[in-house]
Structures are given as C-alpha cells and as structure tokens.
Amino acid sequence: MERQYQHKKIEKKWQAFWQDKGLFKVDTQDRAKPKYYCLVMFPYPSSELHVGHGRNYVIGDAVVRYKMMRASLVLSPMGWDAFGLPAENQAIKHNIHPKEWTFKNINRIKSQLNSWGIGYDWEREVTTCIPEYYKWTQWIFLKLYAKNLAYKKEAAVNFCSSCKTVLANEQVVSGRCERCSTEVVQKDLEQWFFKITDYAQRLLDDLELLKDWPQRVKVMQENWIGRSQGVSIDFSVEDKEFKINCFTTRVDTIFGATFLALSAEYPLLDKLIEDSPDKEKIRQFIEKIRNQPSSARLQEDFQKEGIFTGVYAINPMNGIKIPIWISNYVLMEYGTGAIMCVPAHDSRDFEFARKYQLPIIEVISKPQAISHKLQAIKEAYEGEGVLANSGHFSGLGSEEAKETIASYMEKNSIGKREINFRLKDWLISRQRYWGVPIPIVYCDKCGIVPVEEKDLPVLLPEDVEFKPTGESPLKYVEDFLNTECPRCGSRAKRETDTMDTFVDSSWYYLRYICPRDRDNIFNPQDVNYWLPVDQYIGGVEHAILHLMYSRFINKFLYDLGLINFKEPFCRLFTQGMIVKDGAKMSKSKGNVVSPEYIIDKYGTDTMRLYILFMGPPEKDAEWQDEGLQGSFRFLKRCFRLLEFVEGKEPEENKEKLSVLDKKILRKMHLTIQEVTRDLEGNFQFNTAISRVMELVNEIYRGVQSTEYRVQSSILREAVKTVFLLLAPFAPHICEESWGILGGKDSIFKENWPEYKEEFLKEDEIEIAVIIRGKVKARLLVPAEISSKDIEQKALSSQKIKDALKGASPKKIIYVPGKLVNIVP
C-alpha cells in the first residue's frame, strides 16, 4: 500500500484536535505532576511574522512538547507587548487608531502561531494595552512610589526629536535612538524615574544565582551595572571656601596627581572662575564644550580640549599646588564631574598633559624596571607596581597602597571609600499617547498626589488626537486632564505622560498565573508555586533592557513580600538570528521568507524541523531553501516507514533475535540515549535530529536487506521510537503516524522513550590500530577483549607487520573499545 504524506490535511486535523482536547490547557491549582513553566518572550504585535521570528516559538514549542512527554505539567502561555510607539506611528501614517491597528496585528499573529502548530494555553492570554492588565502596571507604580522608588526630577535627559519623546539610557545606542537612529539630544526636563540604582548591588550580586544563563548575557549586565570601587577625595581650593570632590579608583597614584580636571557642566564652575582674569575666555570655552553633541565623544578623532581656570587646588597628601582645568573629556554623569589627573599612570590624563605641557610625575615603578627618571616617558603605565615619590608610602605595592592610603584618608578626613555604579535610574515617562497613564495627580494645594488604589485603573482615553508634538497628547484631553485631588478633593490635573513599555513587560510573566484575577495583581500562593520560570527563551537583544528591568521589578515585589523568589528566570536561552543572504530578514531589504508559502508547499512540520536542524539554536543561521527541501524529504521518508510495519502481525520472539534485529535494537537505544542527552543539555536540536536521521537510515538499510523479516517486533518498536523522538519537533506528522501505529490518544500523552543499558552493548567491536597517527588496520574483536589479547592480535596482523617493517614496538597503548596505538 502506497502512503502519501498529505501535510495539509494532517496539520489541520491535529491542530483542531489539540484545540478540542485542550492539550495545552493548564490548571495552575494542579499539583499532581511536577510543574514546568516554559516562557517565550512575548512579541510586540507589529506586522505579521516571518520565519526569522519563527525560531523563538519553534524552540519554545519543542521544549514544551518534550517536557509534556517527560510527564511534567507544562505551562506555556502567550501574550502581547501591545503598547508602544510603532502603533502610534503607523496610526498617524495610515489614519487608524493605535488600538485597532494593534488588535488587527494580534489576531493576525495569533492565527499564524496556530497554523505553525505552536501550543499555548490561550485562556491565559495577556495583553498589556487593556485595562484589565495595565491597572496592575499602575498598581506597581504606586507601590514603587510609596517606597520612594518612583520619583520625579528635572534632569538632562535623552530626547529623540524624531520620536518626539525622551528615552531611557538603555534605549540610546551609540548616541542614537535605538528605534529610528536619530541623534539623541540632551534636554532638561521634569521626568519620572524608577530608582533601579538602589538595586544595583543586588542586581550585580544575584547574577551569581543565574547558573543557567548564558555567560555573555551576564557579562553584558555586569558591564552595564559597572561597579567600581575607589575613594572620593576632597581637594581644597586656594582662596575659596569650597572643596572639589573627586572619585578615583587609583588612590595609590595620588602623589602623581599634577592637575584636576572638571567637566564643563560642573556646578561650581561660576564660583570657581569669578575672580579669574580670563573669565570671558573661559566662559566661551565652557559654552563651546556644552554645545558639543554627546555623540561627538564616540567619534574616533574626538579631541581632548581644555582650559586653565587660573585657580589651584591643594593635593591633600603632600600639600602641593596643582592647577585646576576644565576639559571636555570629563563626564558630568559619572562620579562627581571632577577628576584628579595622574598623567604618568592614566593614558587619557597623559594625552591631555602632553597637549598642554602639564607635569608628569611617575609614582608607580614597573616591577623589575629601573626608573628612567630623566628620560622622556612615552606612555602612561597603568599596571601594578611599587610606589615611588610617594612620601612615606613609597615602597608599598600598588594594591596594598590602595588600602593603606584609603585608610589614612578616612582617618584624616581627606576622603572616604566609595562605590560607584555606571547604572543610572530608569527614566520611565514618555510624552506619547499609546502607553499606560502614570497614576499621579497634581494638586495646587497638596502637590504631587498618587491616585488611590481603589481608583485604578486610570483609563487611557480612546478619543484622542495623538499626533506627536513633543508633549503628551493627553494634555489636550480635558476629560482626562481635569480631575479631583484624591487627598483634598479640590480641582487638580492628571499626569499626562505615559510609561515606558518596558514597565509593562517587566512583570507579565507573573500575570500569566492568574490572568483574570480582578482583585489582585496575582495570587501569591500560585505564583510562588509556578515561579521562577523554569525556562525563558528569547532574543539576545533583550540582554540588558528587558532582562534587567524584570529582575529589578521582581526584586521589588520580593521586598514587598508578595513573592518568595529573588530571580524571575532560572534558565535563559537566547536564540540566534535567522539571516538570509547574510542579513537580518526585513521587509525593507526584501529578503523575507514567507512562512505561508512554505507551509502551503511543504507543511509546518518541515519548516519547524528545518529551523531546528539548520544549526545550533544559540547561533545565527543562514536560511537556505535547499535545506528546507532536505527536511521535507526526511519527513516523507519517515512517513514511508509506516508501510513496513502497518498491517503486519508482529512476531513475539525476542529470545531469538536476528543479527539485524540486534543491530536495529542497539541503534534504537543508542538514539534514545543521545537524543535525550541533546535535549537535556543546551537544546542541541540540530544534533538530536541528525541522530534520528541516522536511526531512520539504519532501519532502511535493514529493511532493504533480503534476510530481514518485516514482521519483526523490533522493527515496529524502532519505527514507533522514531516518531516519539521526533514528536517535539514535527508534532503533526508524529501524531498522525502514532494513530496509524495504533495509538489511541495524543502522542504527547505518551512517555518519552527510555533506553536500556543492556541493549547498548555489542558482542563484537571494531578497533582501529594506529601507527604514527594513521589508521593502519581495523580489527573486529570481542567486546570484552583484554589489552594483552588485543595487542597480540594487532601485532600479528599482516598489515601491521608490513607497516612496522620489522621494527619492534616501543610502547603499545590500548584505549578500551576504541583503538590501539603502536609506537614504533
């Protein structure tokens, strides 16, 4: 009987079956089986998905189905990160409401995911732009506000003039807007911030708890948090009342400090230069530096520039007068905006000192190097060494001196130990329409007043002119804007900024547990049972933004006592991009591969299998249409296996297995072992699939052999195993085949096959005999052969005798089960 692989029919049939039977529906109260929470980063619903997006969901689904077969209760939810700028921009362009545009896309993507056979518990669907959800985003804001972790301040902020809104630090890439690449400018504006810096140390320390996160992601977060340990030192200024505070990590070099440098934004500049004769010239210089765009710093040819203030500071360690300069290489955003400069041991200070002929004094001698006192120094030495020219600290090692000098300074009130972070507070206000309203009211009498919890949600009005103006569109919605003060009842105005969408996505994984709860953000008992997420899957582009913010919010909720886990995601998997013709798939490049076409021609199982087979999932991979056909060929080949076993009564005579039976049985158990190991490791789907291919090849070889009895029960078992092992990757064809093989229910209700050690053993093994790194002979020997016997056998082989040419071997090494190495 000829079997046709009719993918269209099969795939529709089983997608309907899963939906009818509620295969992915999970009761979060159920404690009967071990829980497994598999979370795939929820998408922003822009246009429809292409195969480049697909990898994420296909990997997630393979994990979910595999874990189901391993008898876990698997939670696999999906939702929509549905607020955000693109909706608004599209809406403006095409004159459609952002809400309408967003829901149109949601429906489109949802039907795509369904047609790919990706299994989700849709009853848990979460959409960040509906009041049911954003009520609780506002609730989190209020909780943060109550703990002084949400605050408003005027600050120089990043502003994108194209998106007409401010951006968080994390959203500025190389001085440009991460979304539209417009150069970001600095603006002084009143904005809302979350005080993530309070959590800097914990965010850093707890990276250690994340054993199953990719190292690179942890390193990125570490760099972003940017902790450095040092000393802040007060320098008194000649003829002035105030002191200049500098932070340094190299307090050991303080005797080599020959000048101070201040940022052009340094707050005390006016007071500092008020008596300077060159006041006007200095002012002009400051003005010039302030007007340099922040992106100028990133250019290769950025020139260090400076001007002398005419004022001197005193080095507190030796009382020496050192000039105070203003320079463009000092950042106001980091440390204090003032630095002590040690040109001999810092390359930047060195470059500056050279340019303006400032003195360079060496205070750290390189180990083993003789001091070249009078010779010109060619470059700054930044390494460790022994202190010289450093008063009674001379002779100390630099590491030791850091401690000794810091202690001395603390004792004498010159300075104190300090820790600085690169991480800044998270700027969350956006002057745009399509986002969560910030639940704050401004009252003339009471000032800033939070909306009361019982009054949540503050609804986002829908009838709005949402054109970008640089101000929030909500400013012009009278009904929204005018309200009563929750405290005194007098007339008040609402905050009109909305929240950054990263706030929405920083807690969605908690809401999946109780998505329809009207009275609580979630039920702590259930959340504590289901969380932390066992497996999180998503793109590496979220390594800093989303993953840092989520960790922060999680820790905050932990501090409130609402949850009992410190980190939200146990294991993180970041998949690589699928590229086509060497570039990321995008509509503008015209290299998008349409999943609809592929599914129509080959089926989603082929697409899924190819996506998983194309390479290690954590690496980028190049899409090749020929590879796709290979997967299609393989699935057809699998389906044809059914012909060999269907309708044939299996013989039950395991006692007398034929040689071929034994071979296939062994290969089957070996394959189970290897595929399981590949999946339990770091999701090596590509090798897992290749091993099933090997098993299939082996079965075909067996069946084609004339001696093989196709009624063999072993053959039947092997074919079943092929579909069980393939089920997480190509679920539809496996369900169909399972039914044909007599399965009564879904294949995903079956247990994952287990291998038995006893079947892996071989009676005879092949041993390679190696001389000078070359295989000279292959011997078929009993598996349990002794090293003495194998040596003898090897030496008596004619090929080996020829190769040795009469020389007697110096040494023979037998690696059991593998090879014999003869050293002549």
Q: Which two tokens stand for residue 146?
A: 């109550």
Nearest CA to 511 out of 570, 554, 545 is that of 554
Beta bridge partners of 775: 770
| Identity at 500, one-letter amino acid code | D
Residue 158 touching RNA (CB under 7 A): no
Rank residues 445 and 584 by Cβ distance to RNA and give the closer one: 584
- Residue from 318, 412, 525, 697 touching RNA (CB under 7 A): that is 697
Nearer to RNA, 186 or 687 (CB): 687
Min dist CB 48 to RNA, Å, is 25
Cα end-to-end span (Å), the chain: 60
Q: How far is the CB of 581 from RNA (least distance, A)?
A: 12
How far apart, in whole angstroms, are the C-alpha atoms of residue 162 and residue 179? 10
| 226 part of the interface to RNA, by CB under 7 A | yes
Residue pair 43/81 in contact by the 8 Å Cβ criterion: yes
Task: Sort 794 into a burial class: Cβ within 10 Å, 0-12 / 13-18 / 19+.
Answer: buried
Considering CB under 7 A, how many residues would be counted as binding RNA? 81
Residue closer to RNA, measured from CB, 118 or 614 = 614
Contact partners, residue 793, CB within 8 Å, separation at least 6: 779, 781, 785
Q: Check residue 726 for interaction with RNA (CB under 7 A).
A: no
Residue for token pair 């106001």: 332
Q: CB 741: neighbour CB atoms within 10 A?
A: 16
Interface residues for RNA in 540-569 (CB under 7 A)?
Answer: 540, 544
Tell me the three state secondary structure of residue 325.
Answer: strand
Site string for RNA, 339-358 (x = CB under 7 A): xx-----x-x--x-------
Which one, 279 or 417, has the nearer CB to RNA? 417
Q: Does 62 bind RNA (CB under 7 A)?
A: no
Q: Closer to RNA at the Cβ: 142 or 545?
A: 545
To RNA, the closest distance from the beta carbon of 122 in angstroms equals 33
d(CA 198, CA 225): 12
CA distance 307 to 324: 9
State the binding string over 27-46 for RNA (x if CB under 7 A, else -): --------------------
CB of 282 to RNA, least distance (A): 19
Q: Counting beta carbons within 10 angstroms of the beta carbon of residue 552, is it exposed (0 to 12), middle (13 to 18) or buried (19 or more)?
A: buried
> Judged by CB under 7 A, which stretch of 60-68, 445-453, 486-494, 622-630 contacts RNA?
622-630
Choose, by CB under 7 A, the member of 86, 470, 627, 743 that binds RNA: 627
Is 626 a binder of RNA (CB under 7 A)? yes
Which residues, numbered 314-343, are part of the site for RNA (CB under 7 A)?
A: 328-335, 337, 339-340
Q: In the stretch 165-204, what mask flags binding to RNA with x, by CB under 7 A?
A: --------x-------------------------------
| 52-60, 185-193, 299-307, 664-672 -> range binding RNA (CB under 7 A) | 299-307
| Binding flag, residue 416, RNA (CB under 7 A) | no
Nearer to RNA, 423 or 531 (CB): 423
Tally Cβ neighbours within 10 Å of residue 786: 11
Structure tokens given for 572: 């993180």
Question: How many whole angstroms separate alpha carbon 369 and alpha carbon 373?
Answer: 11
**Minimum CB–partner distance for residue 329 and RNA (Å):** 4
- What the block records as the tokens of 589 is 């490049």
In the complex, minimum distance from the CB of residue 249 to RNA, in angstroms, rounded to a whole number: 4
Site for RNA in 257-276 (CB under 7 A): 263
Please state the closest distance from residue 139 (CB atom) to RNA, in A. 31
| Nearest to 821, CA basis, from 812, 793, 766 | 812
Q: Compare residues 144 and 207 and give the one whose CB is closer to RNA.
A: 207
Residue number, 119 or 343, with CB nearest to RNA: 343
Span from 19-27, 645-653, 723-731, 763-771 in contact with RNA (CB under 7 A) = 763-771
The residue range among 408-416, 442-450, 454-462, 630-638 that interacts with RNA, by the rule CB under 7 A, is 630-638
Supply the minimum distance, in Å, between the C-beta of residue 443 and RNA: 38
Q: Which stretch binds RNA (CB under 7 A): 46-54, 99-107, 294-302, 313-321?
A: 294-302
Interface residue with RNA among 254, 317, 770, 790 (CB under 7 A) is 770
488, 775, 783, 807: residue in contact with RNA (rule CB under 7 A): 775
Residue 723 and residue 740 in contact, taking contact as beta carbons nearer than 8 Å: no
Binding mask 206-225 toward RNA (x if CB under 7 A, else -) reads ---------xx--xx--xx-
Q: How far is the CB of 531 from RNA (least distance, A)?
A: 27
Distance (Å, rounded) from C-alpha 644 to C-alpha 664?
Answer: 14
Q: Out of 684, 712, 737, 746, point to the residue binding RNA (CB under 7 A).
A: 684
| CB contact set of 48 (below 8 Å; sequence gap of 6+) | 105, 108, 109, 112
Q: In angstroms, give the least distance from the CB of 757 to RNA.
A: 14
Distance CA(84)–CA(434), nearest Å, equals 6
Counting every residue, how long is the chain?
Answer: 824
CA distance linking residue 590 with residue 92, whole number of Å:
24
- The single residue among 146, 419, 488, 823 that binds RNA, judged by CB under 7 A, is 823
Which secondary-structure segment (H or E) carries 313?
strand 306-314
CB 515 within 8 Å of CB 454: no
Instruction: Please count the other Cβ atoms lying within 10 Å of the Cβ belonging to residue 156.
Output: 14
If one asks whether residue 434 binds RNA (CB under 7 A), the answer comes out as no
Measured CA to CA in angstroms, residue 314 lies from 124, 251, 311, 401, 684 at distances of 66, 15, 10, 21, 62
Residues paired with 237 in a beta bridge:
313
Is residue 361 within 8 A of residue 317, CB to CB? The reply is no
Q: Which of 191, 248, 535, 606 binds RNA (CB under 7 A)?
A: 248
> For RNA, which is the closer residue by CB, 281 or 818?
818
Render 746-803 in DSSP notation, one character per residue: -GGGSPPP---HHHH--SEEEEEEEETTEEEEEEEEETT--HHHHHHHHHHSHHHHHH
User: Of the two residues 275 and 287, which places its CB atom closer to RNA in the complex?
Assistant: 287
**Binding-site member from 90, 629, 658, 711 for RNA (CB under 7 A):** 629
Among 55, 124, 250, 494, binds RNA (CB under 7 A): 250
Considering the rule CB under 7 A, would residue 797 count as an interface residue with RNA? no
Q: Which of 426, 478, 489, 482 is nearest to 452 (CA)?
A: 489
